[in-house]
Amino acid sequence: MIILFHTDKTIDGAERHSSHFTPIIEEALKRFSDKISRVEVHLADENGKKTGPNDIRCLIEARLDGHQPIAVTNYANSNIDAIEGAIKKLKSSLEKTLGKKNQH
């Protein structure tokens, strides 16, 4: 499973985020890893440098073998909350698509 991490220009430290969040994503999706070829994470600040509630958007797309890709979006006040919320939504979608029989 390949994990690609993308940020917009308003999010600082893309490499730092990638190295920090990749293991979290791998662990969360490990029971589906044999069905997922690639995961793309897109993190953006919707308001740019202005502040606002739930302005961090995380879109995660999972490319599945033999299935259409699954994409989910989550909005939160921080990068970590946005990513964790998107991971939770993606796991739920994967369970519905692939079935709970893949759980170990």
Query: Where do the domains of the chain lie?
Result: 2-102
CATH, domain range 2-102? 3.30.160.100
Per residue in 65-94, pLDDT tens? 888 999 999 999 988 899 999 999 999 999
Amino acid letter for position 36: I
Per residue in 17-63, pLDDT tens? 678 888 989 999 999 999 999 999 999 988 766 666 778 999 999 99
Among candidate residues 76, 4, 5, 3, the one with its CA nearest the CA of residue 45 = 76
pLDDT at residue 10 is higher than 90: no
